[in-house]
Amino acid sequence: MDSFLLRNGVLFAEEVSLEEIALRYGTPCYVYSRATLEQHFRAFDEALRGQKHLVCYAMKANSNLGVLDVLCRMGAGFDVVSLGELERVLQVGAKADKIIFTGVGKREDEMRRALEVGIRCFNIESESELHKLNAIAQGMGKKAPVALRVNPDVNPQTHPYIATGLKDSKFGIPIARAMEVYRLAQKMDALEVVGIDCHIGSQLTELDAYREAAVHLKHMLQALAAEGIHLHMVNIGGGLGIRYKDEKPPSPCAHADMLHSVFGPQNDYEMIVEPGRAIVGNAGILLMRVECLKQADTLHFAVVDAGMNDLIRPALYEAWMDIVPVRKREDVAAKPWEVVGPICESTDFLGKERRLALKEGDLLAVRSAGAYAFSMSSNYNTRPRAAEIMVDKGCHFLVRERETLPQLWAGEHKLP
């Protein structure tokens, strides 16, 4: 679904012109569409209708309270990876029993707090973590629900920086060792072993690797059952890709069909999915203004007011993200531009060789910037982080104020 469409030559977010947003809130800013968020969440939820399931939004993709609130109201669960994410999602009233906690390095205070509020499940990534959680839960007189995150060693065919299910990745428990670790977990008094989990990578555009991983999980469930260890929760992780350019990722429905073909239609497991990007990625754009046009030896540069501190994906993964004008111009010829930010780094680019008709002062939008965009932004070059705006039909709401300069050094001190 696309809620960012042209109307009379001007780009809109739902029913609000992006020119109006820029005027009102300034640039750079992130603009989200509530309708898109809702539609994408619903697609996952409905794909698993009739099956016991929970869609746990991976909030690392975008953890703005406005975004979390919209999803929480729709009944979403949440996948958190830090105490910060846990406390953040509790702020919007998320129910603890819909929260699962993943991550390779959970600290003691994080485990303690998660046990205190009573989360649904810990996804455990190592034996060491198992011992630690058992001891903490024991001390608190609680039983910790756990799933083991197994590493199935499958190749998800994605950028190496976002592949997580290969055997030399730091994530999960190698599948060959998992039986043994399950037996160990089963013997621990303060743990309740409820499920199995994996997450093989992000921006996956084929189902093959998912199917391969799911088959591994199924065999494991059967082997465990044969030993009297019966699990009821199956978590296949997140990772379903989106279209940035011309990718054709599988739909949530096709993904659910794949799960049913492996685990059986309407099976008795509780199926958990952890989509992040597929829910929020195409629900957001980064709105920015051209500050200056300049010419190098052979290249034309369009310097915009958003930089790699606002959006690091192109610099970090050489990710291609579409850049479009907010208002189409006919008065200058289109030519290839290097769209770069103001930061003192040569990796500070948002797009290379983009054919655009541009003048200084024009507004541009980076599309598909709802996921891993603001949430990965920083204050590099002492730049305040951008404002975030949520559009809901004809209304717009400031869901995060632009940072002010004094906020950037609040908490820092000169020497006495």
- Output the CA–CA distances (angstroms, integers) from residue 149 to 130, 158, 182, 196, 257, in the order listed: 11, 20, 11, 6, 22
For ligand LLP, which is the closer residue by CB, 61 or 343? 61
For ligand LLP, which is the closer residue by CB, 199 or 396? 199
Tell me if 379 sits within 8 A of 405, measured CB to CB. no
For ligand LLP, which is the closer residue by CB, 81 or 290? 81
For ligand LLP, which is the closer residue by CB, 210 or 263? 210
Say if strands 77-80 and 53-58 run parallel, antiparallel, or are unpaired.
parallel
At its nearest, how many Å lie between ligand LLP and the CB of residue 63? 12
Query: What is the side-by-side strand order in the sheet with 10-13?
Result: 4-7, 10-13, 16-17
At its nearest, how many Å lie between ligand LLP and the CB of residue 149? 7
At its nearest, how many Å lie between ligand LLP and the CB of residue 370? 11
Residue among 56, 72, 344, 395 flagged as catalytic: 344
Tell me the C-alpha distance between 27 and 21, whole Å.
9
Token readout for 17 is 């012109």
For ligand LLP, which is the closer residue by CB, 94 or 356? 94
DSSP 8-state secondary structure symbol assigned to residue 249: P
At its nearest, how many Å lie between ligand LLP and the CB of residue 139? 27
State the helix-helix crossing angle for 83-91 and 65-73, rounded to 10 degrees.
60
Binding site for ligand LLP (CB under 6 A): 58, 61, 79, 102, 162, 199, 202-203, 237-240, 274-278, 313, 317, 372
Token readout for 213 is 């991983």
The sign of the CA dihedral 93, 97, 98, 99 is positive
- Please write down the HEC assignment for all residues of 302-364: EEECCCCCCCCHHHHHCCCCCEEECECCCCCCCEEEEEECCCCCCCCEEEEEEEECCCCCCEE
At its nearest, how many Å lie between ligand LLP and the CB of residue 102? 4
Q: Is 198 a catalytic residue?
A: no
For ligand LLP, which is the closer residue by CB, 149 or 400? 149
Tell me the C-alpha distance between 325 and 122, whole Å.
44
At its nearest, how many Å lie between ligand LLP and the CB of residue 407? 25
- Output the CA–CA distances (angstroms, integers) from residue 212 to 22, 54, 239, 258, 332, in the order listed: 46, 22, 14, 10, 52
Q: Which residues are catalytic?
A: 344
